[in-house]
Amino acid sequence: MKESKPQNDAAEKATGPPAAAPPSKIQDVIEIIIIAILVAVVVRTFVVQAYKIPSRSMVPTLLVGDHLLVNKFIYGIKVPLLRNVLIPITDPQRGDIVVFIYPKDRTKDYVKRVIGVGGDKIEIKNKSIFINDRPYRDSFGVYSDRTVIPAFVQPRDNFAPVVVPPGHLFVMGDNRDESADSRFWGFVDLKDVEGKAWLLYWSWNSDEQENLLKKVRWDRLGTLLH
């Protein structure tokens, strides 16, 4: 009778540990991961970035819990860290909603609307905005407080004339009476502008307690910002 040892050897091989993936396949996976990370970094740095709204300063245009995409490409490609414009495209215009580095705390990003650009003369009289001595058509401004505060108390409602320096912006929140903006802390350097608010992709109402589905502001999703 012949021995069955060759068959036993075959069974042992069949039930042994699986062969390791060829080095070339592992290398391909690593390369794909690295490329994906690099693409994500480039997109976030130069093209588009997501932000969340934490305050009421832009109500009703932007609500607390809104998540928006910011177009970082539109105002030119900047050199990282140095923030100098490498490839200019266009500058922020009056009425643009911009995200920028807060001048008083550079660890924070703020979002406001551009009211004045370099060379503009800005003045506020009893809540009314004047640009270059002409009334500004304030299509987006909302006022929740009827009280008019005199200039010697604070600059919210009465703001002495100033001229915006070249390369800077004068910005305000749409919620005029509840916004800390250029009236209080000055101008925004164009170098510190991160981009233009573009699209609402998500909105979450944390104040809604009864209905989980109502926490999502469905009607705001996909809204283009103006």
Look up 214 and say whether it is catalytic.
Answer: no
Look up 2 and say whether it is catalytic.
Answer: no
Residue closest to 86 by CA, chosen among 167, 191, 168: 191
Among 72, 112, 127, 196, the one annotated catalytic: 112
Q: Which amino acid is at 103?
A: P
- Joined together, the tokens standing for residue 78 give 């900047």
Say which residue the tokens 């070339």 belong to. 24
Q: Nearest 5°: phi and psi at 33? A: -65, -45
Q: In the sheet where 97-101 sits, what is the strand order?
A: 48-52, 66-71, 193-203, 97-101, 109-116, 168-172, 188-189
d(CA 159, CA 151): 6
Q: What angle do CA 226, 223, 64 make, to 5 degrees?
A: 85
CB of 105 within 8 A of CB of 202?
A: no
Among 57, 179, 182, 203, the one annotated catalytic: 57
Q: Would you please indicate which residues are annotated as catalytic (active-site) residues?
A: 57, 112
